[in-house]
Amino acid sequence: MSVYTQLTDDQFADFCHRFGVSFARAIPITQGIKNSNWFIQTTDDVDGAHSYVFTLFEERPPEDIEKMAIILNQLDGKLPVAAPLALVDSAEKCYVIRYDNKAITLVPCLAGSHPQQTTQAMCHEIGAALAMLHETLQALQPAEEYGVPLYPWSEVRDRERQFMPADEAKLMSDIWQSYTDLPLASLPKGLCHLDMFADNTLWNLQVGEERLTGLLDFTEVSVEHYVMDIAITINDFCTTWGMAEQGESVNFDRSKMAAFLQGYESKRILGEDEKRALPVMLAKAAVIFWLLRLNVIHYNRTEGRTGDNIMVKNPDLMKRLAAYHWSHVEKAQSTVFVLEHARYKDDDKNNDVEDFKIIGVFVTEQQAQAAIEQLKSQSGFKDYPNGFHIDAYPLNQINWSQGFGC
């Protein structure tokens, strides 16, 4: 489990009293890799129940955690979140205790359980919830005043790449460069969660009635491209992670991704630039969490953190997911989509081709589909609106001088 700072029962009692809570017992929480967390039982709890979660933030400064409290209050009532309690001994509204230059918060427990696996219905629901989060937080302006700075992952990349095998370093560099080449300026940005993994959500998991009951861990909320937040969430919710005894496999489910995107677009429609950027963002998001896990190992080593209380997630799993997504990006980059149009005559119900021509060559299928919608109403095509079709051709199999074909 991840408990880095040890506290005594007397300290827990004093801290909880400042939030107006009567302390009985602290129970370490096993999930998480960066903060120390405990369930708090109060003197009013019965049968081993616990009413609150006590968090000591190991890295984020108290000022950032105060901003997080404002964000949670903004979401409260629209999404299932737990807003931090206010201190009862403070003249001004304050949600954070400062201890050893670290922040402490106390939040009410939310009902539900962490899912061990996800369904398409759950992916649809979390997609809608993430879109609602993006839309709701637009009210906090300027967004930069509420979000924390993005972590300097390029520095971690440069440090870790020195120790990687050549093929891993190339994979990371290729993905990073492809991300840099995206039209980033055209992609919508705003406050994003950036850590919406399944273990940061709670659900009613009754079979057939799965329902989202809690969104957790808002410590990473930053101003970022919405499509990056989408990619991070898809990567965990749409992947089945095999355990050690199963060879630590990585199985990505594209039908779950489709369900997620349908849920997201039920609340916020994605732009065409966002849709085109998503495959690269999926790969980049996997790289970020690959680096995050390597960074945790580095941080634990340099800080001398050892023992049973330290949990480290396997960075190789994210490396494998990055490689999977990159293979799809490479395949898409080596394929063109040819839009063709045929006019048919229907003499005696014989659908003979009257006229056939190539309209254009497109980088993505979405671009070809968009061209169809534009052409349907134009002169020369409106009388034959159903004659369009799209063919995909590998670039290395196209004979440009003699026409298209494999």
Q: Are residues 313 and 351 in the same domain?
A: no
Q: Are residues 158 and 51 in the same domain?
A: no
* Dihedral angle, C-alpha 72, 262, 176, 183, nearest 10 °: -90
CB atoms within 10 A of CB 180: 10
Q: Are residues 28 and 125 in the same domain?
A: no
Q: Are residues 181 and 310 in the same domain?
A: yes
- Domain assignment present for residue 3? The answer is no
- Domain assignment present for residue 406? The answer is no
Closest CA to 390 of 355, 354, 364: 364
Closest CA to 178 of 307, 306, 59, 330: 330
Q: Are residues 175 and 248 in the same domain?
A: yes
- Among 108, 141, 163, the domain-final residue is 108
Cβ atoms of residues 158 and 295 within 8 Å? no
Residue 102: CATH number of its domain: 3.30.200.20
Q: Are residues 322 and 339 in the same domain?
A: no
Per-residue CA distances from 146 to 215, 228, 343 (Å): 18, 18, 57
- Domain assignment present for residue 349? The answer is yes
Q: Are residues 48 and 194 in the same domain?
A: no
- Domain assignment present for residue 113? The answer is no
Q: Are residues 259 and 357 in the same domain?
A: no
What confidence score (pLDDT) does residue 1 get? 42
- Among 284, 303, 333, the domain-final residue is 333
Q: How far is CA 61 from the centre of its chain?
A: 23
- Domain assignment present for residue 404? The answer is no
Residue 267: CATH number of its domain: 3.90.1200.10
- Domain assignment present for residue 271? The answer is yes
Measure the CA–CA gap between 196 and 200, rounded to whole angstroms. 6
- Among 310, 333, 356, the domain-final residue is 333
Place of tokens 């799965």: 210
Q: Are residues 131 and 238 in the same domain?
A: yes
Number of domains in the chain: 3
Measure the CA–CA gap between 119 and 237, rounded to whole angstroms. 9
Q: Are residues 292 and 358 in the same domain?
A: no
- Domain assignment present for residue 245? The answer is yes
Say what the pTM is. Answer: 0.74
**Domain extent for 104:** 9-108
Measured in residues, the chain has a length of 406
Q: Are residues 248 and 378 in the same domain?
A: no
Per-residue confidence of the chain (406 residues) as pLDDT tens digits? 455 788 999 999 999 999 999 999 999 987 666 789 999 999 999 888 899 999 999 888 899 899 998 999 899 999 999 999 999 988 888 899 999 999 999 999 999 999 989 999 999 999 999 999 999 999 999 999 999 899 999 999 999 999 889 999 999 999 999 999 999 999 999 999 999 999 999 999 988 788 999 999 898 899 999 999 999 999 999 999 877 656 678 899 999 999 999 999 999 999 999 999 999 999 999 999 999 999 888 877 787 766 555 566 888 899 999 999 999 887 776 666 788 877 666 555 555 655 667 778 776 676 777 788 778 777 666 666 677 878 777 655 555 554 554 4
- Domain assignment present for residue 114? The answer is no
What stretches of 35-149 show up as alpha helix (H) in DSSP?
62-75, 120-136
Q: Are residues 100 and 127 in the same domain?
A: no
